[in-house]
Every structure is written in C-alpha cells, then in structure tokens.
Amino acid sequence: MRIIGVDSTFVQQKTCPAWGLASRAFPAFSAYRRQGMENLLRKLDLTSLRLFVAVCQERSMARAAEREFIAPSAISRRIADIEAIVGLPLIARHQRGVTVTPVGETVRRYAEHILGTIESLGAELSQFHEGARGSVRMAANLSAIVQFLPEDLAAFGRVFSAVDVELDEQHSNEVLQRVAERAVDVGICNAVEGIEAFTMVPYRRDRLAVILPVGHPLAARTGEIPFSACAGETLVGLQGNSALTQLLRQQASAAGTALRIKIRVSSLDALCRMAHAGLGIAIAPEQVGQLYVGKLDVVVRPLTDEWAHRQLWLVFPSREQLSATASAVVNFLAQGQAGPGAISVIHDA
C-alpha cells in the first residue's frame, strides 16, 4: 500500500492498526515516535544523503568517492552515520564493491526524491534572484486569448521583464499538435481528444452562455436556460474545428438534434455581432457576451448544463522537458498571479 503524506499517526494507523491502538492507549508511546521522527529529521543531512545515493548508483565506495571528489573513508563514515540514525544496515560491503540492503533501497528512493525536490526548488528560486531570461513559445485557443491571457501575460511581464512570450492563436486541436511537434513550449486549450497524452495543469475556468438578439423569444426568459431550449434554432458558429464547435456538436448529438449553423466566423466578437444583427443565436463564453451587453442589442443567458462549465488547461510534454523560463510561465499562470481576469465580471481566479 502506498501512503502519501507526512501525518505519521495517519500512516501508522492505516498500515498497522496496532500502532494506532498503542498510540491511543499509551500517550508516551506516541511521544516516543514523534521524538524518533524529529531525531531523524534533525540528524540526517543532504550531503550524507547525496553521497549515499552515489554509492548506491556506483555500487562501489571507491567509484562514488572519485565521482564526488571525496575520500572513500569520508563516504564510509557518512554512511555509517546514516546507519546509526536509522538503526539498520544500508549496505553490505564486500571485495567487489557494495550491495544495497532492502532498507538501503528504501532510503535511496526517498533520498533521490528529496535531493530532486531540493534541486527543483533551487532552480525555481534562482529565477527570482537572477530573473528568468529568454523566450517562451506559446499557442492558445481563442477563449483563453480573449478572456484571460492579455492581463495574465502583462502581469507576468511586470515580474519577469527579461522574458519574451511569443503567442499564436490556434484551435485546441492545433494547440496540442504544436505542443506535440515541439513547435511551442506550452499550450493552453480546452479538454479535447488526445489531451491526456500531455502533462496538464489547470489554468482558468469559464462558462458558456447563449447570446441572443433583443426581442428573441428566449431573451424574455430570466436567469439561466438549458441547452435543450436552443433546439431548432439557427446558430452562428466559429470557423474550423474549434473546441467549442466540437462540444456543441457532441451535446446536440447526445440530445438527438443537429446543429443548424448558418454563418461561421473567425472570432468571438464577430459571433456576438452576428447575434446582435439577428442572423442567429450564438453560444460563447459568458464573460465574452457580457462585454457586449449595453453596446449591442443582445442579452446573455448562461447555460444550466454541467458541461457548459469548462476548464482551460496548460499543456506541455512533461515538467522535465520544460526550460526554467517556460516553467516560470506555467507556474505563474497556474497560480492565478494576475488576479482577476480581463473582464470585470470574471469571478474564477
């Protein structure tokens, strides 16, 4: 059973009920375990762990010492210190080198994780001390660009002034293709087929709504409306195979209806203007529609359907393949560092 977490009481109760029972029955026993954990954390040091990992990898004290530019006797003392702290042997020494014990393999696995985490921490902190530099290539879909990215990238630029971000607008499928081809470092898109092949980090959420011309029968409704109310209506849609168009086709098919798209345009603002002119109703992110309320003769009615709440994702091949500069972009955007989005009615951070 794999346990993730640092709550020692939880771990021991789950892995061995007797430990939890003993802790409740004998408070001194629990105090003893806490003292042992504190003793372990206080006495173990990163240098000793690094040298121990080197011995495990080389399977030789001499080769590890040569690699780490240290005397074999010094490494031997370090490992003996760890064994004294743990209370169990970590390696078995013999003429041909060393053999790692099962306990040693456990310590090695955690030591590599700790050292890797410290290395990653150092790399990220260096971005703040020295400032990330270079350029990052990005591709994003229309929803991300219109709603969130202008303010988010401007805020990023104020913190990382030495980083240039190159941004291309693409449909979600094309975003994934460009990431797969390494044509861009990071993509932002909705969940479309194939996205699970990439590392995905949540970026922002939006909600779809119906954009209606004033005077349309559905405009007389107040509050939210279901997608089923749009059955039989003529729609204004986006050109190409956008994630929004794919989603609407899927939902219409699931409801046993067909999309009647009369006009296709290339932008969300054109979508709203066509609805304003009475050429059809449009379905677009609610925040985009709200931009035009009061400027055009349109009303916005959010969709009640669960699928109308969409997640935008930051996508890339893997964390390991990201440059330090690209990691800075991902971390900044994922944490909502820019605060509120581009449009005043946005509430999702």
**Predicted local distance difference test score (pLDDT) of residue 268:** 84
Q: Render 172-196 in DSSP notation, one character per residue.
A: HHHHHHHHHTTSSSEEEEE--TTGG
E strand or H helix at 207, and its extent? strand 199-213
pLDDT at residue 119, rounded to an integer = 81
For the chain, give the percent of residues with pLDDT over 70: 81
Q: Are residues 174 and 246 in the same domain?
A: no
The CATH code of the domain that includes 255 is 3.40.190.10
CA geometry: angle 264, 171, 200, nearest 5 deg: 145
Q: Is residue 36 part of a domain?
A: yes
Mean of pLDDT values over 204-212: 93
pLDDT, position 344? 30
Q: Which residue has the higher pLDDT, 36 or 342?
A: 36
Mean pLDDT of 15-26: 43
Read out DSSP for 228-287?
GGGTT-EEEEESSS-HHHHHHHHHHHHTT---EEEEEESSHHHHHHHHHTTS-EEEEEHH
Please check whether residue 13 lies inside any domain of the structure: yes
**Separation CA 92–CA 266 (nearest Å):** 68
Could you tell me the two tokens for 196?
A: 């699970």
> Quick one: 180 and 324 in the same domain?
yes
Check residues 61 and 3 and name the one with the higher pLDDT.
61
From 128, 154, 172, give the residue that closes a domain. Answer: 128
- Choose one of 128, 162, 189: the last residue of a domain: 128
Q: Would you state the pLDDT for residue 200?
A: 94
Rounded average pLDDT over 26-48: 62
**Tokens of residue 157, six digits:** 């630029």
Are 184 and 168 a contacting pair, CB within 8 Å?
yes
Are residues 167 and 215 both part of a single domain? no
292/316 same-domain check: no
Q: Where is pLDDT greater, at 177 or 347?
A: 177
Q: Estimate to the nearest angstrom the gap between the alpha carbon of 4 and the chain centroid.
A: 19
Which has the minimum average pLDDT: 23-27, 80-84, 238-242, 308-312? 23-27
When comparing pLDDT for 273 and 292, which is higher?
A: 273
Per the structure, the complete domain to which residue 52 belongs is given by 8-128
Residue 219 and residue 198 share a domain: no
Count of domains for the chain: 3
pLDDT of residue 29: 37
Average pLDDT over residues 224-247: 87
Residue that is last in its domain, among 68, 96, 128: 128
Strand-pairing partners, residue 202, are: 313
Cβ-based burial of 117 (10 A; exposed 0-12, middle 13-18, buried ≥19): exposed
Do 148 and 231 lie in one domain? The reply is no
**Residue 84 to residues 81, 89, 108, 315: CA-CA distances in angstroms?**
5, 8, 16, 45
Is the residue at 123 inside a domain?
yes
- pLDDT class for 343, splitting at 50, 70, 90? very low
Mean pLDDT for 244-271 is 87
Decide which of 235 and 294 is more confident. 235
Query: How many other C-beta atoms are found inside a 10 Å radius of the C-beta of residue 139?
Result: 27
Q: At what angle are helices 17-25 and 27-43 packed, to 10 degrees?
A: 110
Q: Give the C-alpha separation, 76 to 61, whole Å.
A: 7
* Residue 343 belongs to a domain: no
Q: pLDDT digits over 118-159, tens only?
A: 887 776 676 655 556 789 999 999 999 999 999 999 999 998
Q: What is the pLDDT of residue 266?
A: 84
Q: Which two tokens stand for residue 221?
A: 């409704």
Q: What is the pLDDT of residue 291?
A: 83
Residue 342 maps to a domain: no
Average pLDDT taken over every residue of the chain: 82
pLDDT at 34: 57
